[in-house]
Amino acid sequence: MFCSFTQKYPPVKFLSEKDRKRILITGGAGFVGSHLTDKLMMDGHEVTVVDNFFTGRKRNVEHWIGHENFELINHDVVEPLYIEVDQIYHLASPASPPNYMYNPIKTLKTNTIGTLNMLGELKSLFFRLTSFKCFLSIDPEVHPQNEDYWGHVNPIGPRACYDEGKRVAETMCYAYMKQGVEVRVARYSYFGPRMHMNDGRVVSNFILQALQGEPLTVYGPGTQTRAFQYVSDLVNGLVALMNSNVSSPVNLGNPEEHSILEFAQLIKKLVGSGSEIQFLTEAQDDPQKRRPDIKKAKLLLGWEPVVPLEEGLNKAIHYFRKELEYQANNQYIPKPKPARIKKGRTRHN
């Protein structure tokens, strides 16, 4: 007697051989990478996810395991990788302050040596790399920030391992472009389901604190501003950029700007929480203003975010509530995780 079990996958579009691309996503089991994996798989492409699982999680992509178009490789991009593909989405890097400050040397290596390895791979194949970098200034001198703004960062501060690693990676991309490699560079921010509960950034911290009835911690007066976009908008922008002819950096963000205090009050309302808002000492190198100028993306890609902030936050709240239930059943309740900074406190990101 034989028993067979059929794995059910999300619906996948059929593409002919000439239209189906072989796509590599580094960091593909992470937050953004797993959502990108979902879109590209459902669009009918062959997707290889490479992740060392430092911050990525297998459960983010486990619903694709076994599908003929999907492959998962446990690999660190700091080490060379030899694989034939048509496109590479290079997303490998810890992005939250607690994670990238935990091992700053490793963060630097991932963003520099890892990027160099991906560029070298494509140089030998003559295909396309889209290197997605989140480069944001500590205290921008231009507001809103467009792609021509070079930034104003602290090269020896607590987040320098991340900021400067991204800057060098962009330099590498354009050095390789002069040698014939096609590159695309995006600058973005994001939130949504699959973010780590102890991510350490403002959206996840506030939601977690509100759901658990703890004070929502605001560092400084709360007048610092942020502009967040929902992850599905970002993924659509990344794919549009990859398949465009735009080789210069492009902002993929939501220009709707809110203060940190406004975010805290909105999340309290959406959760229905009675948590108080607690003001603490302002963090070292905490950016004061963030708002992307997305005119270029609108003009050249025909792209702009469409998910309203409250709709995205409600989806994130639903996900985090389920995560709390999951963690409680496994006897682990995460707490908002502060970044490891010797001077000052955790920063809003």
Known catalytic residues are: 162
For residues 142 and 293, is the Cβ–Cβ distance under 8 A?
no
For residues 54 and 99, is the Cβ–Cβ distance under 8 A?
yes
Alpha-carbon gap, residue 45 to 242, rounded angstroms: 14
Quick one: which of 318, 10, 288 has its CA closest to 145?
Answer: 288
Alpha-carbon gap, residue 161 to 316, rounded angstroms: 28
Q: Chain-centre distance of CA 207, in angstroms?
A: 18
**Interior CA angle at 72 toward 69 and 77, to 5°?**
125
For residues 100 and 161, is the Cβ–Cβ distance under 8 A?
yes
Give the up-direction half-sphere exposure of residue 164: CA atoms within 13 A in the CB hemisphere. Answer: 14
What's 60's DSSP letter? G
Alpha-carbon gap, residue 8 to 79, rounded angstroms: 34
Please report which residue ranges of 7-69 form alpha helices under DSSP H. Answer: 31-42
Alpha-carbon gap, residue 339 to 153, rounded angstroms: 18
For residues 33 and 23, is the Cβ–Cβ distance under 8 A?
no
Helix (H), strand (E) at residue 187: strand 182-188
Alpha-carbon gap, residue 67 to 306, rounded angstroms: 31
Q: Is residue 163 classed exposed, middle or buried when 0-12, 13-18 and 19+ CB atoms within 10 A define those classes? A: buried
For residues 293 and 145, is the Cβ–Cβ distance under 8 A?
yes
